[in-house]
Amino acid sequence: MSESERREWPLWEVFVRSAHGLAHKHVGSLHAADAEMALQNARDVYTRRNEGASLWVIRATDIVASRPEDRDALFSTSQDKPYRHPTHYNVPDGVKNL
């Protein structure tokens, strides 16, 4: 077995920003030996149809993510605060630009 088969290229996550001013969005992942190759591969695989104006690649192991079991602790408290949304408030008929 050759050296390359014992050691897999690391996994990178790919983010693309479209030309329309939106933030970078996760589009998928790929394997590459280093950052330069990851960027080149990302260009080849994820931007063949004018999808992007900018690319980010990040080693998958460098991403810090919230854990599924923490979901309630992190996010459930925001569900009982409807007053944070404009739809919570009554706007009297006839009042404009509010």
Partner 1 sequence: MYTQMVDVSEAGLDDDSERQRIFDDKIDRNVTIEPDDWMPAAYRETLVRQISQHAHSEIVGMLPEGNWITRAPSLERKCILMAKVQDEAGHGLYLYSAAETLGTSRDAMVAALLAGRAKYSSIFNYPTLTWADVGAIGWLVDGAAIINQIPLTRCSYGPYARAMVRVCKEESFHQRQGFEVLATLCGGTPEQRALAQDALDRWWWPSVMMFGPPDSESLHNERSMRWKIKLYTNDELRQKFVDQTVPQADFLRLTIPDPELKWNAERGHYDFGTPDWAEFHAVVRGNGPCNRERLRARIAAHEDGAWVREAAHAYAGKRAP
Contacting residues toward partner 1, per CB under 8 A: 2-5, 7-9, 11, 27-34, 37, 45, 48-49, 65, 67-68
| Residue with Cβ nearer partner 1 (4 or 90) | 4
Number of residues that this document lists for the chain? 98
Q: Which residues contact 26 (CB under 8 A, 6 or more apart)?
A: 13, 14, 15
| Residue with Cβ nearer partner 1 (20 or 67) | 67
56 closest CA partner among 39, 37, 31: 39
How buried is 29 (Cβ within 10 angstroms: 0-12 exposed, 13-18 middle, 19+ buried)?
middle
| Residue with Cβ nearer partner 1 (1 or 95) | 1
Minimum distance from CB of 65 to partner 1 (Å)? 8
Q: What are phi and psi of 67, to 5 degrees?
A: -95, 145
Minimum distance from CB of 39 to partner 1 (Å)? 13
Minimum distance from CB of 45 to partner 1 (Å)? 5
| Residue with Cβ nearer partner 1 (17 or 37) | 37
